[in-house]
Structure 1
Amino acid sequence: MASGWAKDGAVQEQIDSTVEDGINEARQRLQQRGPSLEFCEACEAPIPQARREAVPGVRLCIDCQAEADRNDTHRAGYNRRGSKDSQLR
Structure 2
Amino acid sequence: MAGGWTRDGAVQDQIDASVEDAVAEARSRLTTGESAEFCEECDCPIPEARRDAIPGVRLCVDCQAALEKDEMNFGGINRRASKDSQLR
State TM-score, norm by structure 2: 0.61
Q: What 5-or-longer segments of structure 1 have no aligned partner?
A: none
Determine if the alignment matches structure 1 residue 35 to structure 2 residue 34: yes
| Number of equivalent positions | 85
In percent, how many aligned pairs have the same letter? 56
State TM-score, norm by structure 1: 0.60
Q: Distance in 2 between matches of 1:87 and 1:15?
A: 11
Q: Select the structure with the greater relative contact order (CA < 8 A; seq sep ≥ 6).
A: 1
> 3-state SS of the aligned residue for 1:58?
coil
Instruction: Please list, as runs of the form range in 1=range in 2, the aligned pairs for 1:3-14 lying within 5 A after superposition.
Output: 7-8=8-9, 10=11, 13-14=13-14
1:24 maps to 24
Bigger Rg, which one: 2
Q: What 5-or-longer segments of structure 2 have no aligned partner?
A: none
CA RMSD of aligned residues (A): 3.1
Q: Distance in 1 between matches of 2:76 and 2:61?
A: 24
Q: CA deviation at 1:37?
A: 0.9
CA shift in 2, pair 1:13/1:88, >3 Å: closer
CA shift in 2, pair 1:53/1:21, >3 Å: farther
